[in-house]
Chains A and B, each alone.
Chain A
Amino acid sequence: MSTVIAPAGSARGQARRGGGYEQPQGRRSNFELYSWFFMRLSGLILIFLSLYHLVWWNLIVGVEHLSADLVRERWQNPFWRFYNVALLLFAMLHGLNGLRYSIEDYVRKPGAQVAVKAVAYTLILTSMAIGAFALFTYNPAVAAAAR
């Protein structure tokens, strides 16, 4: 039997001595599995979070009635604070995951991939942290005094 040629540098599918074929040799890790499961679950939650958010502010309240006072009033309730933090974090994580896929698919040099990922992760995780910090620590009294 002729030797099976796999993609350059790959162990996958090469004939193995003593029979059988080589399988991919990567680090054994369940990261991709858990990441996929998390995205499925949070994606489902995200649909309802964002739908309700849109319907509430745009259809029930109405854009014409939107005001800082209304937002502040809603913010007083801890439930809505967590709601908005969840909306922010899930949306950003889904965006980050899409970006990770694109980087892994199209930035082929290992060094360049690490560098691009580092920049993307830093930017997105920092903005997530700033967003969550602002949502949790916003103080209406200080904000009113500053006006």
Chain B
Amino acid sequence: MAKATIRILRYNPEGDAAAPAHQDFAIDVEPTDRVLDALNHIKWYVDGTLTFRRSCAHGICGSDAMRINGVNRLACKVLMRDVGSRVTVEPLMGFRVIKDLVVDMDAFFAQYRSVLPYLINDSRPPERERLQSPEDRERFDDTTKCILCAACTTSCPSYWANEEFVGPAAIVNAHRFIFDSRDSAPGERLEILNNREGVWRCRTIFNCSEACPREIKVTKAIGEVKRAILYRQST
């Protein structure tokens, strides 16, 4: 057991203090504890009013994305021994804070939905599954890994500056279907993204690629969508 200080940016819309403020919690942790374990410990044994999202706790559901020591991470994928004995935990940037570490993600999901993130194919379904070669599957393999945690979108300075920007996560999920050989509407998605608030608001800053807990090459995927728009326009 070692002592650790967890500094959390708290905000309570119903409290007396209108402004968000940091609060320190000194607790005992194991080096192999995750930041999520530390937050759970605080919530269960120190201050039950601490509010944050978490669900699977295994890096799959994408609920507990937050800013840990200034970097967007999943609290369930970061070990205490890797962040030191003083950890600052803050909500994701660019979203409205509802309470403590819980942010309003409605706009994020609205932007996600606007790029048609589902298979479109009006042809008659075959008797069994729609077949695809391993090579065709490989083409969009990277972007299938997205868990919609919003770590990429909320690390993007273009998104901080302009909430109308569709954001990296939505483009990643459009990419997943644009390059799927079974899908018949890539043109429709490219048309949606060929917009000032679509892929062209991306300034190739690479924050998204660094922030992704699934190690998706987000900037590369956005670049591929940009090129696909160019090729489509020139044919």
Contact partners of B196 in chain A: CB under 8 A: 26, 32, 104
- Cα–Cα, bound, A106→B201 (Å): 12
List 7 A-B pairs, Cβ < 8 Å.
A5-B110, A6-B107, A6-B110, A10-B110, A12-B197, A23-B114, A101-B203
Q: Is the CB of A22 within 8 A of B114?
A: yes
How near does chain B come to A8, taking the closest CB pair, in angstroms? 8
Whether B229 sits at the interface, judged by CB under 8 Å, is: yes
Q: Is the CB of B110 within 8 A of A12?
A: yes
Please give me the residue from chain A that is nearest to B161 by CB atom. A105
Contact partners of A23 in chain B: CB under 8 A: 114, 192
Tell me the chain B residues, 211-235 only, with Cβ under 8 Å from chain A: 226, 229-230, 233
Number of A-B contacts (CB under 8 A): 74
Contact partners of A13 in chain B: CB under 8 A: 107, 109-114
Number of interface residues of A (CB under 8 A): 23
Number of interface residues of B (CB under 8 A): 27
Main secondary structure of the interface of B (DSSP, over half): helix
Q: Is the CB of A33 within 8 A of B113?
A: no
Contact partners of A36 in chain B: CB under 8 A: 200, 226, 230
Question: B90-117 interface mask toward A, CB cutoff 8 Å, 1 = contact, 0 = none?
Answer: 0000000000000000110111111000
Q: Which of B37-45, B74-82, B141-149, B162-170 contacts A (4 or more CB under 8 A)?
A: B162-170
- Cα–Cα, bound, A30→B200 (Å): 10
Whether A7 sits at the interface, judged by CB under 8 Å, is: yes
How near does chain A come to B13, taking the closest CB pair, in angstroms? 17
Question: B20-53 interface mask toward A, CB cutoff 8 Å, 1 = contact, 0 = none?
Answer: 0000000000000000000000000000000000
Whether B59 sits at the interface, judged by CB under 8 Å, is: no
How near does chain B come to A1, taking the closest CB pair, in angstroms? 11
Contact of A6 among B111, B161, B198 (CB under 8 A): B111
Please give me the residue from chain A that is nearest to B104 by CB atom. A5
- Cα–Cα, bound, A8→B164 (Å): 9
Q: Assuming A24-B197, A26-B196, is B166 touching A4 (CB within 8 A)? A: no
Whether B194 sits at the interface, judged by CB under 8 Å, is: yes
